Amino acid sequence: MSAPVSLIREPLVTGSKTYHQITEDLVSPTEKAPGTLWVMAFSVAAILATFGVFCIAWTIWFGIGSWNLNRTIGWGWDITNFVWWIGIGHAGTLISAILLLFRQKWRTGVNRAAEAMTIFAVMCAALFPGIHVGRAWVVFYFFPYPNTRGPLWPNFNSPLLWDLFAISTYFTVSLLFWYTGLVPDFATVRDRAKGIRKKIYHFLSFGWNGSAKHWQRWESISLVLAGLATPLVLSVHTIVSFDFATSVIPGWHTTIFPPYFVAGAIFSGFAMVLTLMIITRKILNLQDYITIAHIESMNKVILVTGTIVGVAYLTELFVAWYSGYVYEQFAFFNRALGPYWWSYFGMMFCNVISPQFFWSRKIRRNIVWTFFLSIVVNIGMWFERFVIIATTLARDYLPSSWSFYIPTWVEIGIFTGTIGIFFVLYLIFVRVAPVVAIAEVKSILKSSGDQYSGGHGHHHHHEETTSTENH
C-alpha cells in the first residue's frame, strides 16, 4: 500500500505531513489545557445534561404522567428520541466496519470520532427504554436470568426484547471495536506522557509495544470485529423497526420498515458525523486530516441514503393507496394532511428535498452548506420518527379514541439532556484520546498523503482552501 492509489484521487492527508507531524498534530490536543471554546461548550453541555438528569429524576418520582402521553399515544418523544439516537449511532459502525471491509481509505480520517459518536449515541438511546417505562425499578424483568419466579422468562416473541439484545450486542461490539483501535494510539500518547498521565495511558494501552506480533494481532482482531459489526449495521435498526413493523397499527404494520430504517439510520448518522467533524476539525485544527475530500465522500453517502429514504416514503404512500385498506390509506392521509401535517412536511423537506442539494459538487464541497444541511437532516430524521410514532398513534382505528399530544417540559428536558450528555462525553473524548486514528492515518500516508499522490490533488487542495475555507 505504499504506492499512491491513483494520481486522480484526491489526497486524504494534506500539508505534506511527516509521521512525526501527524503524531504532534493528533496527540497535542490531549496534552494542552483546554481552550475557552471547549470550556464554554462543555459548560453548556454539562448544564443541559444536569437538567436532563433532574427531569429523569422527576419522571421516576412522579411517574410517566409528568409527560403528556395519553391513553391513545403511549409513546411520544421518548421513543422518538430513542430511535433517533440509535440511528445516529449507525454511521460509526458503517464507517468502521463496512468501509474497512471495502478498503475505503477515507474512513481513517473520521472513523475514530464516528465510533465514539456511536457509543455515546447508543448510550443516550439506551437511556430511553430504561426510563420510559412505568416502573423503572423493575426493568430488570427484561433480562433472561434464572429466577425464583417459576422461573419466569421474558417473552421472546416481543420485539422490545429483541431490541434489548440488539442494542446490548451493538453497544458491546462497538465499544470493543473503538477501544481496539484506540490501543496503539493510547500507546503513542503514553510514550510522550509523563507522571500520572503516563501511568494512566500505560494502563489504557494494555502494554502495547508496537511489535510486529502486536500489529498482526491488532489487524486480525480489527478485521474480526469488523466482520461481527457488519451485520449489526443492518440488523440493529432492522430490529428497532420491528417494534413498529410487527404491530397491528396502520402506519406501523409495514414490511418496508427494515431497509427504510437502516437507510434512514445511516443517513442521520452521517449527518451527525459531519456536524461533529466540521466543528472538531476547526477547533482542533485538523483540516489536513479531515479534508474536503472526506466531507464530500460523506455528503455522497447522505445523498444516496437520503434518496433511498425518499423512495421509501413514496413507496409507503403508493402501497397505502394500492392496498385498498382503509385504515392504511387513512393513516398516510392523516400524516400528510392531519393535525400533525407540519411534522410530515418537515420530514419530507428535510430528508428528501434538502439532500438533493448535494447533487451539486460545489455544495458538497462547501463547509457552510454541509454544516447547515447536516443539521437539517438530523432535524428531518427526528421528525420522521415523530411522524411514525406519535402521528400514527394519534389517529388509529377507533375515531372515538383519537387524541393529540404535545410534550411537557419534562420530556423536552430529557431530550435536551441527552444532547447534553452526548456532548459532555464527546468533549471529554476529544480531550483524552486522539480524535483521529493516528496509526490508521499513518498507514495511508504513503498512499494518500499529498506529497506522495501527485500534484493534482495538492493543487486542488489549495484551490479548495481559498474558495471555501474562508466562508
Contact set with other proteins (CB under 8 A): 61-66, 68-72, 74-75, 129, 132-135, 137-139, 141-142, 152-155, 157-161, 164, 243, 246-249, 326-327, 329-330, 333-334, 337-339, 341-342, 345, 393, 396-404
Cell of 386: 415523530
Which of residues 57 and 223 has its CB atom nearest to other proteins in the complex? 57
- DSSP letter for 193, please: -
Could you tell me if 384 and 347 are in contact, meaning their C-beta atoms sit under 8 angstroms apart? yes
In angstroms, give the least distance from the CB of 330 to other proteins.
Answer: 5
Pick 318 or 397: Cβ nearer other proteins: 397
Cell of 129: 427504554
**Whole-number Cα distances in Å, 345 to 77, 336, 359:** 18, 7, 22
The answer to whether the CB of 316 falls within 8 A of the CB of 332 is yes
Whether the Cβ atoms of residue 366 and residue 377 lie closer than 8 Å to each other: no
Residue 247 Cβ, how far from other proteins at the closest point, in Å?
Answer: 5
> CB–CB of 278/367 below 8 Å?
yes
Half-sphere exposure of 418 (CA within 13 A, CB side): 28
Q: Are 190 and 270 within 8 A, CB to CB?
A: no
Q: How far is the CB of 69 from other proteins (least distance, A)?
A: 7
**Residue number with CB closer to other proteins (52 or 250):** 250
Q: How far is the CB of 379 from other proteins (least distance, A)?
A: 19
Minimum distance of other proteins from residue 380's CB (angstroms): 18
Lookup: cell for 26: 493528533
Q: What is the distance between the alpha carbons of residues 228 and 172, in angstroms, rounded to a whole number?
A: 11
What is the C-alpha to C-alpha distance for residues 305 and 274, in angstroms, rounded to an integer? 15
Residue placing its CB nearer to other proteins in the complex, 47 or 160: 160
Nearer to other proteins, 4 or 154 (CB): 154
In the complex, what is the shortest distance from the CB of residue 211 to other proteins, in angstroms, rounded to a whole number? 47
For other proteins, which is the closer residue by CB, 64 or 437?
A: 64
